[in-house]
Structure 1
C-alpha cells in the first residue's frame, strides 16, 4: 500500500519538469574532412558543446550562437543550419542536485577560433571528427547526434 501511494501520488509531486537549454554544434570542413568543436565544462572538465539557458530578447538559435562566442570564442561564418537535434542530460545545479534538462542543438559553420573571448583560459577547446567527439561526450543521445551529424548535414543541404 505504501509503495502504491508513493508511486501514484508522492513521486509525481517531487518530479520537476525538465529544464531547457540550447547548444551550438559548430563545425568546419577541412578538405573532405568534417570536424566539430567541443569544449570542456568549467567544473568537471568533461567534453561538451557550448550551451546555456535561454536569454531574454534572443530566440533559441541566437542564444546558441551567443554561447558559442562566450564559451568557445568562435564566430560562425553563416547564419546557421538550424535545429539539428535534441538531447537530455542531468544538469547538476548548486548542491549537486541533478535536474533533467532538454537541450536543443543548432548547427553553425565555424570560422577561426578567437583568442580573446569571455571565457578564454577557463575551458579547453578542440576540433575533432564527429566520431571522436561522440566517444568523448557522456550523454548517449548527444553521442548519437554527433555520430549522425555528417548525414544530417548532407540531408539539410539537399533539402
Structure 2
C-alpha cells in the first residue's frame, strides 16, 4: 500500500508543502525580481563525542527550522553578513569561509504578506564561541543537531542536500588533518 501524502510529507520534513507552495507562486519566480540573502551553516565538533554538529534556529514568525540568514548590508561582504546574522540570531562566532559553499532558493514572506523568491548564498562558519547575550536571544529557539537531523528539519530541498554535502566535505577535511 502506498504511503499517504501526510506520512510522506512528515517523513521528508515538509518538502511536499514547500514544492506545492513554489508551484503556487510560479509567476513571481519566473517574472519578478529575485532577492539575495546571505546565510551561514554554523558547525562545530562535539567536544566529547568527536562528531560534527550543525546549528539550526527557528524563524521568528512561523517557528519553522532554518539557518541564520539575512539581507545584504551596505558596506559588508556576503560572508561578513552571514557571520553577523549567525551572531544576531544564534549568538555564535567563529571562522567563516569567504568563498560561498552553495546556494538555495526559497519564498520569503514579507511583512505586507507578499511572497518573493530569494536566492541565498551560503557560507560555512566553524563556531569557536557561543555567547550568552545576543540581539535575538529569546526570540528564536536554537538546537545543535547532526547534519542528517538538520536536513530533516528544514523545508527547502536544496538546503537539505547542502547539509549532507557539507557534512561529507567537513569529514574529508578532518580526515586529511
For normalisation by structure 1, the TM-score amounts to: 0.84
- Structure 1 residues not aligned, in runs of 5+: 1-10
Contact 1:84 1:152 in 2 (8 A): no
Of Structure 1 and Structure 2, which has the larger fraction of its residues in strand?
1
Deviation of 1:113 (Å): 2.2
Deviation of 1:150 (Å): 1.3
Which position in structure 2 is the counterpart of 1:22? 38
**Counterpart among 111, 124, 127 of residue 141 in structure 2:** 124
Superposed, 1:2-151 pairs within 5 Å as 15-30=31-46, 31-76=49-94, 78-80=95-97, 82-151=99-168
- Structure 2 residues not aligned, in runs of 5+: 1-26
Q: CA RMSD in A?
A: 2.0
CA distance in 2: counterparts of 1:142 and 1:62, whole angstroms:
20
Q: Are the structure 2 counterparts of residues 79 and 15 from structure 1 closer, same or farther at C-alpha, using a change threshold of 3 Å?
A: closer
CA distance in 1: counterparts of 2:172 and 2:117, whole angstroms:
30
For normalisation by structure 2, the TM-score amounts to: 0.76
Q: Are the structure 2 counterparts of residues 16 and 156 from structure 1 closer, same or farther at C-alpha, using a change threshold of 3 Å?
A: farther
> Max radius of gyration: which structure?
1
Deviation of 1:79 (Å): 4.2
Deviation of 1:114 (Å): 1.4
Count matched residues.
146
